[in-house]
């Protein structure tokens, strides 16, 4: 039963979506690739110490057309170019919001975990190769490129916005938590609209860091399978315009928790994750039966999938359509929450977009409770009175950070 909305609980909506990842370079390309369950950017890449299977953005970001304006040249790095590629897709909606509300009433809240760390890696690598040479460095580097907090202020400046702008970095829940923070700004009347989402870029720090934890797979990730071997790191950006004005998708509920079980391993029982899921359902004013689809965190690591399958079986005892989409995007880390919210948004906002498929080898792990994976073309029911109009997206991070988001048509 829906709760009456007080002033502080007034509904907020997600309007325009800009997205780029291994599935494609814009929302239309991503929707088409999602329908085929094919990701052109997923494959083997070369790193400085070997090869890795990863999700890479194929847009030619090094070309001048992706560069920031001259006033922001000192911030030029792959991560910020990726951010600009997604921002360009929602620029018309942001410009229209500026006309209605004024630029000072529009904020920016973004999540990231690596920012421009790849830029400093390239600088150090070049410095090493030029150590015996008198040739000048050709890779411009400014420390602000790698500052974790730079993403949101950079985006705000690029868009000419004057509202609050800040970056959240809580590992793999970063951009999921950005949605909750953006909603607070709107409900507190500090903003009339907020650009919200996340961005993260492939870099050696995460590729080799997760490899050192023995958490990566040399082949396409295989979530919830008995044969799962780990994650594929990915990169991407996903951005929305959120406001109190009615739009195609309502941000219906959110739940956050922190169980602090371990610095990198999840609580094996999923107690903290379950708190987040149930809090999101309560915030949306619905029970589990109202949810028509869940986008799983599903990293395909042994421990994470075990934890998530168990808590899903407890929260949804009657089952719910679910899939893990990281085989199509890679694990985009700080951008994962926003990326997977973007895929959920597409299923709600567009009648032609089916539920994302769960790509795996079909070999169920007998130690995990069975889940209702989307393995063939399925859609949310359409029209009033035809069933669930709600979807959920889950994110779980290092340090026991948990976040669950609920969206409604």
Distance of alpha carbon 108 from alpha carbon 128, whole angstroms: 37
Residue 213: which residues within 8 A CB-CB, separation 6 or more?
264
**String of DSSP letters for 87-136:** HHHHHHHHHHHHHHH-GGGEEEEEE-SSTTHHHHHHHHHHHHHTTT--PP
* CB 114, CB 131: distance < 8 Å: no
Say how many C-beta atoms besides its own lie within 10 A of residue 362's C-beta.
12
Q: Which of 77, 172, 191, 203 is catalytic?
A: 172
How far is Cα 136 from Cα 120, in angstroms, rounded to an integer? 16
Reading the block at residue 221, the tokens are 């990730």
> In the 8-state DSSP scheme, what is residue 368?
S
Please give the Cα distance from 237 to 89 (Å, whole number). 11
**Residues 6 or more apart from 107 whose CB is under 8 A from it?**
156, 161, 163, 164, 165, 182, 185, 190, 191, 193, 194, 195
Question: How would DSSP label each residue in 132-155?
Answer: T--PPP-S---GGGT-GGGHHHHH
Distance between CA atoms of residues 238 and 181, nearest Å? 16
Structure tokens at 290: 């109202």
331 is catalytic: yes
Exposure b/e, 170-203, CB count within 10 A at least 16 = b? bbbbbbbbbbbbbbbbbbeeebbbbbbbbbbbbb
Contacts of 294 (CB under 8 A, 6+ apart): 312, 316, 320, 321, 322, 391, 392, 393, 394
Q: Which of 98, 203, 331, 358 is catalytic?
A: 331
Report d(CA 177, CA 166) in Å as an integer.
12
Does 297 qualify as catalytic in the annotation?
Answer: yes
Strands (E) across 259-338 are located at 291-296, 321-324
Helix (H) or strand (E) holding 327: helix 326-329
> Is 358 one of the annotated active-site residues of the chain?
no
Question: Where in the sequence numbering do the catalytic residues fall?
Answer: 172, 297, 331
């Amino acid at each position: 039963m829906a709760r009456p909305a007080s002033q502080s609980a007034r509904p907020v909506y997600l309007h325009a979506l800009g997205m780029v990842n291994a599935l494609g370079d814009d929302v239309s390309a991503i929707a088409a690739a999602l329908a085929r369950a094919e990701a052109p950017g997923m494959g083997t890449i070369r790193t400085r110490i070997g090869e890795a299977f990863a999700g890479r953005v194929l847009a030619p970001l090094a070309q001048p057309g992706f560069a920031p304006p001259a006033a922001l040249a000192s911030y030029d790095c792959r991560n910020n170019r990726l951010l600009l590629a997604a921002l360009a897709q929602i620029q018309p909606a942001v410009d229209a919001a500026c006309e209605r509300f004024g630029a000072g009433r529009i904020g920016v809240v973004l999540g990231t975990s690596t920012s421009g760390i790849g830029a400093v890696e390239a600088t150090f690598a070049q410095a090493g190769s030029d150590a015996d040479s008198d040739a000048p460095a050709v890779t411009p580097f400014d420390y602000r490129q790698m500052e974790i907090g730079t993403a949101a202020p950079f985006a705000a400046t690029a868009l000419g916005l004057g509202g609050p702008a800040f970056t959240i970095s809580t590992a793999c829940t970063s951009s999921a938590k950005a949605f909750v923070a953006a909603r607070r700004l709107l409900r507190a009347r500090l903003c009339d609209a907020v650009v919200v989402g996340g961005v993260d870029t492939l870099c050696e720090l995460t590729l080799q860091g997760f490899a050192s934890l023995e958490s990566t797979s040399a082949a396409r990730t295989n979530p919830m399978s008995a044969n799962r071997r780990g994650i594929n790191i990915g990169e991407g950006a996903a951005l929305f315009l959120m406001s109190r004005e009615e739009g195609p998708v309502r941000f219906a509920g959110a739940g956050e928790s922190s169980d602090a079980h371990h610095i990198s391993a999840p609580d094996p029982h999923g107690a903290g994750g379950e708190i987040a899921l149930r809090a999101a359902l309560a915030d949306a004013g619905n029970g589990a039966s109202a949810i028509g689809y869940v986008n799983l965190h599903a990293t395909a690591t042994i421990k994470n999938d075990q934890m998530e399958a168990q808590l899903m079986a407890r929260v949804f005892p009657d089952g719910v359509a679910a899939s893990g989409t990281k085989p199509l995007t890679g694990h985009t880390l700080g951008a994962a929450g926003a990326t997977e919210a973007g895929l959920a948004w597409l299923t709600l906002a567009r009648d032609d977009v089916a539920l994302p498929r769960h790509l795996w080898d079909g070999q169920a792990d007998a130690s995990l409770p069975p889940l209702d994976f989307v393995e063939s073309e399925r859609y949310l029911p359409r029209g009033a009175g035809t069933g669930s109009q709600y979807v959920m997206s889950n994110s779980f991070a290092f340090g026991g950070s948990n976040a669950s988001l609920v969206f409604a048509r």
